[in-house]
Amino acid sequence: MDRRRFLVLAGGALLAACSPSAQRPGDMLVQLYARPDKDEWPDEFRQLPADTQAMYRYAVANHATLQYIPCFCGCVNAGHTSNFDCYVREVLPDGRVRLDTMSFG
């Protein structure tokens, strides 16, 4: 396989994986909230592998840094503007965060 064809196929696969249609069907309906300051996480979160949980915890704790790191997986179509958005959809004034389930798999 020539390099150009490989890059086109790899890029297409990456975009398809992060497109809104590739999300789990219930992602738009299910809203998962966490209270990281009280270590309160939804059951769906606690069922994730430890490494994935660690990524979410890191993202929540490091918004000031991750907001400046762009996401390169094509999630811009889902409204993501930074790597932080790949993990957190919304930060609420009461300390809760709405998780983005993109990395739930």
Flag whether pLDDT at 22 surpasses 90.
no
Asked whether 71 and 34 are in contact (CB, 8 A), the reply is: no
pLDDT at 17: 45
- CA atoms of 8 and 79, how far apart (whole Å): 23
d(CA 78, CA 102): 10
CA-CA-CA-CA torsion sign (82, 83, 88, 94): negative
Q: How many CA atoms lie within 13 A of 75 on its CB side?
A: 19
Query: What spatial distance separates the first Cα and last Cα of the chain, rounded to whole Å?
Result: 29
Domain map (residue ranges) of the chain: 3-104
For residues 79-93, give the mean pLDDT.
89
Residue 49, pLDDT > 60, answer: yes
CA 7 from centroid of its chain's CA atoms: 24
Q: Is the pLDDT of residue 74 over 80?
A: no
